[in-house]
Amino acid sequence: MASTRFLTALEHRPIPVTADGSGWSLTPAEAERLAQIGEQRPGFCEVGHRQVKLAQFCGVVGLGERVLEILPKTQDAASSADDCRGVLLRLLRLTERFPQFQHQAVGQHLRRAPLLEAFIAAFFDAVSVLTRGGLLKQYLEHEDDLTVVRGRIDVTRQLGIHANRPDLVACAFDELTVDNMWNRVLKKAIRCTRPWIRSVELNRKWVALMGVMHDVDDARLSGADVERLAFNRQAERYRVAIDWARWILALLAPALRAGRTEAPALLFNMNRLFESAVATVARRRVYEESGLEVEAQDTSQALVTVVSQDRVELGFQLRPDLVFRRSDAVVAIADTKWKLVGCDSKHRLMPSEADMYQMHAYASAFQCSELALIYPWRSELAQVAGAEFRLPMANGRVPVVTVLCLDVHDDSLVLRVGRWPGSSAFVRK
């Protein structure tokens, strides 16, 4: 068994499997846990001979005694684990798919810490927001033996066990308390994080939050209790914190996982994450002044119309990542690619043949003449030359594909190569 409780790996890299899991390797039991996730999430990993090869998912996986953090492979040879961790946190903060991360910091202290600590920090921040507004209180029914009547008298109990005790009254009453299921789930999740925290600052926050939760009893919390929680108008403000708590409990408290046997994980598909982050940047910073609308995963068009006897139907549905519209008119189309873009012998960016065929299909089906392929930037591209790719004429126009590279090491995803699609339509009309 390795001495550390944290194991770090990069996407698309194999992890060796050894009998004792020493060094940078997995035990056979840990490899089996990853294989279970691979069955549930196609594309997560491939199990081979004495190794597990990861694919395009990043995040954290609970392995029992250890936690595996999977970081994005930025394709930049100079990138350290801290840089890769920062890229993932940055994309999570920018994406609209996971609102839990939108206020997450990407400071140096979080990039140096294991990914799990960054998630714990986000959870603590969500709980701190709740405590500043006051913990949710609910009326819960209590039974107690008192010297004066409170609520109503429990006649059965009074005439039974207290028949010879005139000094005690068996009472049943409602009490407004913070000791309810919502706060119990939060406290249990906070408690479970303690063994995994190394940061002095997080330890300080842990002590403070446990103090605020002093009157909450989480001792009898079960996995079924966590699953049964259903949000109502009163508890809606707890949504982000409870989402975090459920993830934390699944990772760090196996006994509360309601009998499920698969390995717990908090994973993100990097292709979808990069697409969502780019869409957010486009909406907020590039097209805000232009009057264009940015739609993600548009499914309004298909590649062919299938005619068979008396039936006519669409086939091979198209799904471009980003469609830029003004009113109902398609101005531009873009696809994001979380992968390495190649260069030709003249140092020009050169997409793959499959990517270019995909652009051709989009241009034809959407009748659009301005298209783009968007890749992550890496330092090796500093000297490359931009190029436009002209497709065969369609509808009297020549569609043009441009290649963009965005710097995922910058909080603004700065454009390093190419131009944004639809840029010719930026002028107000």
Cα atoms found within 13 Å of the Cα of residue 201, Cβ hemisphere only: 10
- How does pLDDT run across 178-198, given as a tens digit for each residue? 888 999 999 999 999 999 998
Q: Which among 291, 370, 379, 287 has a CA at the least distance from the CA of 332?
A: 370
pLDDT band at 250 (very low <50, low <70, confident <90, very high): confident
Q: What is the pLDDT of residue 106?
A: 57
- Which among 66, 84, 67 has a CA at the least distance from the CA of 75? 84
- Residue 262, pLDDT > 70, answer no
**E-strand spans in 216-364?**
265-269, 293-296, 302-308, 311-317, 322-326, 329-336, 342-343, 349-350
* CATH pick for 287-425 out of 3.30.70, 1.10.1060, 3.30.720, 3.40.1350: 3.40.1350
Cβ within 8 Å of residue 413, ≥6 positions away: 94, 277, 278, 281, 406, 407
Q: Which phi and psi angles does 19 have, rounded to 5°?
A: -60, -40
Radius of gyration of the chain (CA): 28
Express as a percent the part of the chain with pLDDT over 90.
36
Q: Output the average pLDDT for the chain.
A: 85
Contact 62, 264 (CB under 8 A): yes
User: Which residue is listed with tokens 């003449």?
Assistant: 369
pLDDT tens per residue, range 341-371:
888 888 888 999 999 999 999 999 999 999 9
State the pLDDT confidence band at 202, using cuts at 50, 70 and 90.
very high
pLDDT at position 257 is: 58
State residue 78's pLDDT score.
60
CA distance 275 to 281: 10
For 234-244, what is each residue's pLDDT tens digit? 889 999 999 99
In angstroms, the CA 283 to CA 291 distance is: 10
Q: Domain map of the chain by residue range? A: 6-130+193-211+225-268, 138-177, 287-425
Contact 38, 267 (CB under 8 A): no
* Residue located via tokens 């049943």: 172
CB 76 within 8 A of CB 274: no
Average the pLDDT over each of 71-80, 169-178, 202-211, 348-357 and give the range with the smallest value: 71-80
